[in-house]
Amino acid sequence: MAAKVISFINLKGGVAKTTTTVGTAFALAEHFHKKVLVIDLDPQTNATSMLIGEERWAELDEENSTLYNLFLDAVDGSRDFSLRRSIQKNVGNIKDAPGVDLLPSGLKMIYLQDEIYDIQYNNRTFNDPYMVLDITIGPVMNDYDYILIDCPPNLGILSLNGIQISDGYVIPCIPDILSTYGISQIQNRISIFAHNKKLKVKLLGIVFTKTKKTAALHTRIQEDFRNRSDAPCFKTVFYENSRYAEAAEYMEPLTFRQKWGGSDGVQPYYDFCQELMERVR
Ligand SMILES: Nc1ncnc2c1ncn2[C@@H]1O[C@H](COP(=O)(O)OP(=O)(O)OP(=O)(O)O)[C@@H](O)[C@H]1O
Ligand SMILES: [Mg+2]
């Protein structure tokens, strides 16, 4: 069975796209015994740093083993990228979550983005700028139960490469005024893209993140969204939790529970995974 592919996307920065992608990957592996590949499509390389640390990332960058090299191949035909070599196995140093792998990102992807649009003119393997990842990822699609994609905070060519291979997407969002702007633009842009490309990708839901239990505004905005028919929301809410911020640090091996803050930290992830698996089925 081919992996179910899910993108985590929002135009807004800092809304916990990366945290939710990585926490979900560990919860799927530790609690549900799933094989998970995380694809870090964001040139900020945050998911990559969380999962393998800066030092290992620098080595891979040196060895041409990040997604930068995939997109560079597509742009200039350099043929440096090898999927099997680039996928990092059992990452994250979470003792009880074996089976989380990573396709790392590269900082230099920032400089390439505009050139990717031109590839159809000069490249035989990659003749569609939106399908670079699609053409590449095929050989490992059957190795995983889930592929989770951490997108940059925009709907540019890198994110759309992720949407191209996705069965569904999740919009992580803080329930405040500025973070909820743009949600309908995301839905519109992706549905036009999906229509043009004949894709079946669907919005799995909005998940509220970094939510303050006592903030009236957070409660009101959640209620507004839950009453709307055009934007499905996950029941699970990720409340503000300093342990989630601390979990971004790459460190010595710990269990998922130890690193992500005990039951208070991991239970929302288990609940979220349960909902996610049902919605993407
Ligand atoms: N529930 C939470 N409580 C407190 N802090 C959180 C929570 N979730 C995430 N954070 C912290 O908030 C910050 C932003 O989170 P994250 O990097 O996951 O967002 P992002 O949407 O991926 O950002 P970007 O748009 O830059 O990629 C990080 O410092 C992260 O550790
Ligand atoms: Mg991020």
- Residue with token string 């089976």: 99
Q: Is 0.95 topped by the overall pTM?
A: yes
DSSP 138: G
Name which of 199, 204, 202, 45 is nearest 131 in CA terms: 199
Please report the pLDDT score of residue 122 as a whole number. 66
Amino acid letter, 272: F
Taking the centre of ligand 2 as the mean of its atom positions, its distance from the CA of residue 123, in whole angstroms, is 30
Residue type at 187 in one-letter notation = Q
Give the pLDDT of residue 92.
Answer: 97
Q: Ligand 1 centre and the CA of 174: distance in Å?
A: 10
Ligand 1: residues with CB < 6 A are: 13-19, 42, 44, 46, 153, 209-210, 238, 240-242, 244-245, 248
Q: What is the per-residue pLDDT for 118?
A: 84
Please say whether the beta carbons of 99 and 35 come within 8 A. Answer: yes
| Mean pLDDT, contiguous 10-residue spans, the chain (281 residues) | 96 97 98 98 98 97 96 88 96 96 96 87 81 96 98 97 98 94 95 97 97 96 92 96 96 96 97 98 92
Residue 79: partners with Cβ closer than 8 Å, 6 or more residues away: 73
260 vs 244: CA distance, rounded Å: 6
Q: Where are the domains of the chain?
A: 4-280
Q: What are phi and psi of 12, to 5 degrees?
A: -85, 140
Q: Does domain 4-280 have CATH number 3.40.50.300?
A: yes
Return the number of other C-beta atoms located less than 10 Å from residue 37's C-beta.
25
